[in-house]
Amino acid sequence: GAGVSQSPRYKVAKRGQDVALRCDPISGHVSLFWYQQALGQGPEFLTYFQNEAQLDKSGLPSDRFFAERPEGSVSTLKIQRTQQEDSAVYLCASSFAGTVKPQHFGDGTRLSIL
Amino acid sequence: GNSVTQMEGPVTLSEEAFLTINCTYTATGYPSLFWYVQYPGEGLQLLLKATKADDKGSNKGFEATYRKETTSFHLEKGSVQVSDSAVYFCALSEGDTGNQFYFGTGTSLTVIP
């Protein structure tokens, strides 16, 4: 597609449920990033893939958060046993290899945990 | 460590007013600097960037100059329009070795006719 596509746009889950968020990067983009954006805040880094390799997961807030990109294209961010503090917008971004090149962001998935 | 500090909003201006949104940074290396804009209900869009000291990024009438001596990257526009109403984020990336962006908290701008 023309841009980074994320689904679903909105997700409501009950506390304790597992959720899966999908990201379809721009075709040909090697690098893929996940960010968490709390209300009124800037995005905060969660994890980074280069192709299928997860090179940095230092931003994942707990072991309940898991991300994968098995074929080096689509990525899934999974949150297990969701908590209310997980409520946020989850942004995916992709770029060509390297980081000086700007990242292209999707519209995000707004996750609300009840 | 790396961090970005933006002036707090919200900022409200009349159409055709001059805009400045301050951004300062702290970096361990030699970063690249970016401004992103987020329109209501949309994702972040790159507005402009600068990769080395004294570079000026510009786009859609917006400008920002990479000032190493003051560790700043202030966003300016000479005459704002209603359509510029959005949230603006300053961000840095650690040049060639980093693999993540560090964002400021964002500054909300509302332009009134």
- The CA-CA-CA angle for residues B6, B10, B15, to 5°, reads 110
Cβ of B4 within 8 Å of Cβ of A42? The answer is yes
**pLDDT at B100 exceeding the cut of 80:** no
Radius of gyration, CA atoms only, chain B = 13
The band of B8, judged by pLDDT with boundaries at 50, 70 and 90, is: confident
pLDDT for the residue numbered B101: 85
Chain B residues at the A interface, defined by Cβ less than 8 Å, are 4, 32, 34, 36, 41-46, 49, 51, 89, 91, 93-106
**pLDDT at B96 exceeding the cut of 70:** no
* Residue B67 CB contacts under 8 Å (≥ 6 apart), including other chains: B53, B54, B73, B74
Whether the bond between A8 and the residue before it is cis, its omega within 30 degrees of 0, is yes
**pLDDT at B95 exceeding the cut of 70:** no
* Minimal CA separation from B113 to chain A, in Å: 25
d(CA B16, CA B104): 26
**pLDDT at A99 exceeding the cut of 60:** no
pLDDT tens digits, one per residue of B48-61 = 999 889 999 999 99
Q: Closest by alpha carbon to A86, among A103, A55, A64, A105?
A: A64
